[in-house]
Copies of this chain bind each other. A is one copy, B any other.
Amino acid sequence: MNELNPLKKSYNQTKYQLAGHGKRDMRVLKEVFENVDGQLESDMYGKGQLIEDFQVKMAAVLGKETAVFFPSGTMAQQIALRIWCDEKGLRKVAYHPLSHLEIHEEDGLKELHQIKTVLLADKSLVIELDDVVQMEEGIACVLLELPQREIGGQLPSFETLEQISEYCRDKNIKLHLDGARLLEVLPYYQKSAAEVCALFDSVYLSFYKGIGGIAGAILAGGQDFIAASKVWKRRYGGDLISLYPYIISADYYFDQRSHKMGQYFEEAKELAELFNSCHGVSTLPLKPVSNMFHVHFHKTKEQMESILTEVQKATGIGFTSYLADIDENTCYVEVSLGDQYAEIPKEEVTKAFQLLDEKMKQ
């Protein structure tokens, strides 16, 4: 593949990269396990100190009664929605048109659970109170994703969250948080994870976004909800004999990075400004509200691949290894700030953006 894709090849040869924590290679695991005691016992089918301690720790972080570790968020969230549907005796949930469940899971929710979905809000906007108030009757659960990843990581106001939460409680509709990137939005909201989660009946958090672990997710909620989720985890084949490669790395990188979300947020705003200062480039949102944003380039994908390849080769700064089409004249890339941005000398960043700006004007 690399031979055929000059953009990716040039990115892989850069000295520095603007986004992320670094390559997803074996070092991510090796670093974690070098200092783990060889005699530490594996978890066993969801039991054992290793998994139980981490679940207790994450339940406390999220302010929920209890929590369970899952191999994936896809599994955790489908199960959460199924449990709330069963409790209400209604097989219908509502979420954003670009929810992970709607576009990245091969319709698992519908195929495995016959759950119908109602799409709230225009796909270019976040869900507002009105979208929830105006939705049809018979909804067991509303899922909110914070931030809304597929539109650059946008957020409703915290007041809107409070109002949606209050409305759902009044109407006896369950509210589930797709918090894959929950920690990443806390600096903007100026709230603790527990303060945000208090608005929701159940919460999912991912360990390989801002945290930068290998894989895995936590699902948190009340005792009965989590007990039911463990039964479904077994049904899905998610109750592996050993999940420790993911748990131990999740714990390690959580401790290393959960307190750095404020830094990533500030850097995201700085980096977005740099992109917006270039001719024919704009970010969505214009001013980030988390560590992520999308960059829209107002040229064709082919033109931009050529330009970014040149800039990467000339400056040693990695902008991206891929681009995706928006339409005939626009392409984009998703940027999520991690550990790498802070390692780049500021003057080299500045130079790289100057060169990008020049090439965009040509």
A interface vs B, CB < 8 Å?
Answer: 23-30, 33, 36-42, 44, 70-76, 78, 105-108, 111-113, 208, 214-215, 231-232, 234-246
Contact (Cβ within 8 A) B242 A215:
yes
Closest to A111 in B: B235
Total copies of the chain: 2
Q: Closest chain B residue to A76 by CB distance?
A: B237
Complex alpha-carbon distance, A26 and B232, angstroms = 27
A245: B residues at CB distance < 8 A: 29, 214, 245-246
B26 and A105 within 8 A (CB): no
Q: How far is the CA of A208 from the CA of B244 in the complex (A)?
A: 14
A231 proximity list for chain B (CB < 8 A): 106
Give the docked Cα–Cα distance between A78 and B112 (Å).
12
Neighbouring B residues of A73 by C-beta, 8 Å: 237
- Nearest neighbor of A235 in chain B, beta-carbon distance: B108
Task: Tell me whether A25 and B38 are in contact (CB under 8 A).
Answer: yes
Do residues B234 and A108 form an inter-chain contact, with CB atoms below 8 A? yes
What's the nearest-Cβ distance from chain B to residue A223, in Å? 18
A347 to B107, CA, bound (A): 60
Most buried by B among A30, A75, A234, A236: A236
Q: Identify A238's interface contact among B28, B111, B237, B242, CB under 8 A.
A: B237
A215 to B240, CA, bound (A): 7
Does B29 lie within 8 Å of A41, measured CB to CB? Answer: no
- In the assembly, what is the distance between CA of A183 and CA of B59, in Å? 41
Q: How far is the CA of A23 from the CA of B262 in the complex (A)?
A: 42
